[in-house]
Amino acid sequence: MPLPIWNHPTASVATNGPAPQATACSGSGQIAVTYNEGPSDVTAKVLNGLKAAQAKANFFVNASWLYTQQYAMILQRAYNDGHFIGMTYRAPGDSSDGLSDDQIKQDVENTAKIVETLIGVAPKYVRLHYSTPEDYRLEHIIRNMGYTLVAYNLDTMDYNYKGNPAGIAQLYRDTFSKQLDTYDSKGSFISVQYDIPDTGSWRAIYEMVNVINEAGYTMVRLDGCLQDKNPYKENAQSNKTVSDKHSFGTSGYKEGQSAVEAPSNLNNTVVDTSDIQLVNKNQKKNHAEALTSSTSLVLASLFGLFMFA
């Protein structure tokens, strides 16, 4: 029998309460490692580590970055490598207040279209930008558009570990140990890390995988985590959900990981972080520009980029 996965499974269809968001996997011993807010200058390093470990992860991409050719190419690599692609979404002004339902739907659709243009299918899984208070109206609008909202139950707090990436792996180790000590069984987790230079996540990838492996957990894509055989949308305008060659239930679906050794020069790698500004912990470090009505202009730029590349 599958385990509970939603944080608000009995939420009302009304907008005055929270919408259900996935916070755990359906199977004991599973962990879906997720990365927010990329692609960035360190995404390739994360992908290299995952490839060495024969592991799959999940990337909630920020469409604001995808008009840059290098980042667009990195997204395509992540998708072609068999990783799961979702999208982050941030309402203009960080609030749905002052916007009609149709305006919000159009902005969400424009955001999904940018990703679709690059990978051939539109994301169905969405992670919302952290906001206080929680924007229940926005949650319900997006959910009613056919999207799956994804939260997490394991916050790595990687923004505290830029200078000590081993602390991220230790947090995983402590979480697994506490679960076993308290409940005498493995749990299931959706973890969150940030795919940006100014955290320790990209340096922690090798040790993190080894900790997961040693604890007997299995790294899974979110479609496997939630047993979803149609984890994408056919296109940004459609409610029809589809699979691809890597999806759960197909012969191309992969999960699991192998022990891996970090490259000897990992800690000597220098990444320019001068253009990255992290906000405080309570704001969950979203370094993205707000997706305002200019999203359509970003989309136009993206089309132009590939037309003239």
Lowest mean pLDDT among 15-29, 70-84, 255-269: 255-269
At 246 the pLDDT is 99
* Average pLDDT over every residue of 151-173: 95
Nearest CA among 140, 100, 102 for reference residue 12: 140
Provide the residue range defining the domain that includes 227: 30-308
Q: Which residue has the tokens 């139950």?
A: 153
Q: What is the dihedral of CA 98, 102, 107, 110, to 10 degrees?
A: -170
The predicted model scores a pTM of 0.86
Lowest mean pLDDT among 61-75, 238-252, 268-282: 268-282
DSSP, residue by residue, the chain: -PPP-BSSTT--SSTTSPPP-B-S-SSTTEEEEEEEEE--TTHHHHHHHHHHTT---EEEE-GGGTTSHHHHHHHHHHHHTT-EEEEEE--GGGS-TT--HHHHHHHHHHHHHHHHHHHSSEE-EEEEPP-SS--HHHHHHHHHTTPEEB--SEE--GGG-TT-THHHHHHHHHHHHHHHHHHSS---EEEEEE-STTSSHHHHHHHHHHHHHHTT-EE--HHHHTT-S--EESSTT---EE--TTSTTSTT-----------TTGGG-----TT-----GGGTT--PPP--TTHHHHHHHHHHHHHH-
At 11 the pLDDT is 58
Domain-embedded: residue 90 = yes
Domain-embedded: residue 6 = no
Is the confidence at residue 10, as pLDDT, over 70?
no
Domain-embedded: residue 9 = no
Instruction: List the structure tokens of 188.
Output: 């299931």
Residue 8 binned pLDDT confidence (cut-offs 50, 70, 90): confident
Instruction: Give the model confidence (pLDDT) of 173-213 as tens digits.
Output: 999 999 999 999 999 999 999 999 989 999 999 999 999 99
Distance, CA of 201 to CA of 199 (rounded, Å): 6
Distance, CA of 22 to CA of 225 (rounded, Å): 10
Instruction: Give the model confidence (pLDDT) of 67-77 as tens digits.
Output: 999 999 999 99
Q: pLDDT over 70 for what percent of the chain?
A: 84
Burial 206-217 (b: 16+ CB within 10 A, else e): bbbbbbbbebeb
Instruction: Provide the number of structural domains found in the chain.
Output: 1
Domain-embedded: residue 140 = yes
Domain-embedded: residue 11 = no
Domain-embedded: residue 193 = yes
Bridge partner list, 270 = none
Domain-embedded: residue 135 = yes
Residue 268 binned pLDDT confidence (cut-offs 50, 70, 90): low
**What mean pLDDT is reported for the chain?**
87
What is the domain-level CATH number for residue 95? Answer: 3.20.20.370
Nearest CA among 289, 244, 233 for reference residue 113: 233
Is the confidence at residue 275, as pLDDT, over 70?
no
Q: Which residue has the tokens 């970090």?
A: 262
Lowest mean pLDDT among 78-82, 137-141, 289-293: 289-293
Distance, CA of 283 to CA of 103 (rounded, Å): 25
The more confidently predicted of residues 83 and 308 is 83
Is the confidence at residue 279, as pLDDT, over 70?
no
Domain-embedded: residue 25 = no
